Structure 1
Amino acid sequence: MGVLTDYFRAPDATTVVRALERTEGGSPVLTGFGLDGVQAKRLDPDVVLGELVAAVCRVPWSPDLVAEVSVWPATPEPGPDGPASEDDPWATGPWVTELDTAVRDALAGVPDADVPAAVARWVRSEELHGALAEEMQPLAEELIGLARRARAAGERLYCWICL
């Protein structure tokens, strides 16, 4: 089973929830709702995006590098025993998280001239084992461009995740 991840920008969580309600939880990037975004299959925010943030900031990756707040589903997160049933939206997804503005600003702030070196550091991460910088650079540039547009518009970055 693969994990699908799409990153997008929006003015606020209320806009995101409205989009998800209209699309029955579909990706705001793919459903024609009009939110600017990037398809990034298997690029989870905690680790793989965190590795990119670490690479552009030239710091070691750490689990707290990408702070997130849950936006969807709108129901409370399950307790320590997990979702109550398969009908629970926390069991089936999709999930959307709002990324900390520090993530947006780190990506938006990387100078164009530094992107190739950052990508070279990024692909050395264990999670991207075997990936080539030439293959990953376009995705990194898309994510950086998305972050720049979000920062310029005063918007936040979000990640839609689905199994």
Structure 2
Amino acid sequence: MGVLTDYFRAADAATVVRALEPTDGGLPPLGADGSFDGVAAKGVDPDVVLGQLLAAVLGEPWHVDLVTETAVWPTTTPPGPSGLADEDDPWATGPWVTELGGATRDALAGVPDDRIPEVVARWAEAEEWDGADPADLLPLAEELIALARRARAAGEQLYCWICL
């Protein structure tokens, strides 16, 4: 089973929640028809794989809390200290949406074009890519960086929609 991840930009969490409510958290509409501006990035989870990209951008080792996130969806209270949710609880089944910290957006947005190939070469070394060719990852990295630039220019935040 793969993890579906889409990154998108929005003005704030309330805007995201309003868009997700009619579909009970279903995929946020990505596209040029007035929907969210985003990037489909299957398997690029925020904590590890996007975190590896951020580490490459920053020139530092990856660590688990490099990408900060705030839960936006589901809007119900998360499970208690046990971390266990009922099997029909949206916290157990998803989808989930998190708002990425502004530092992530700004670091991605700040990558100069001439540094992108170098950053992607380092990103491709991540264990999660299993020896991927940097040339294959370059278009995705360019899309994520461009999305971050558009978000920063518009004063918006980056979000990640995740579904199993």
User: TM-score normalised to the size of structure 1?
Assistant: 0.96
Match of 2:39, SS state, is strand
Shift of 1:81: 2.5
Quote the residue 1:17 is aligned against.
17
Q: Is the 8 A contact 1:54 1:61 kept in 2?
A: yes
- Provide the rounded CA distance (Å) in 2 between the counterparts of 1:30 and 1:89: 22
Quote the residue 1:7 is aligned against.
7
Q: Is the 8 A contact 2:109 2:149 kept in 1?
A: yes
Shift of 1:87: 1.2
Q: Give the share of equivalent positions with the same residue, in percent.
A: 69
Structure 1: tracts of 5 or more residues without a match? none
Deviations for 1:105-136, whole angstroms, at most 9, x for unmatched residues?
00000000000000000000111112110100
Quote the residue 2:98 is aligned against.
97
Q: Is the 8 A contact 1:73 1:95 kept in 2?
A: yes
Q: Is the 8 A contact 1:19 1:33 kept in 2?
A: no
Match of 1:46, SS state, is coil
Greater alpha carbon shift after TM alignment, 148-157 vs 19-28: 19-28
1:71-82 alignment, distance < 5 Å:
71-82=72-83
Question: How many residues are paired up?
Answer: 163
User: TM-score normalised to the size of structure 2?
Assistant: 0.95
Structure 2: tracts of 5 or more residues without a match? none
- Provide the rounded CA distance (Å) in 1 between the counterparts of 2:20 and 2:34: 9
Give, as a single letter, the amino acid of the residue that structure 1 aligns with 2:162. Answer: I
Deviations for 1:18-42, whole angstroms, at most 9, x for unmatched residues?
0110232112144866000000000
1:48-127 alignment, distance < 5 Å:
48-127=49-128
Q: Which runs of 4+ in 1 moved over 6 A?
A: none
Deviations for 1:74-93, whole angstroms, at most 9, x for unmatched residues?
01111233343111001100
- Provide the rounded CA distance (Å) in 1 between the counterparts of 2:84 and 2:26: 21
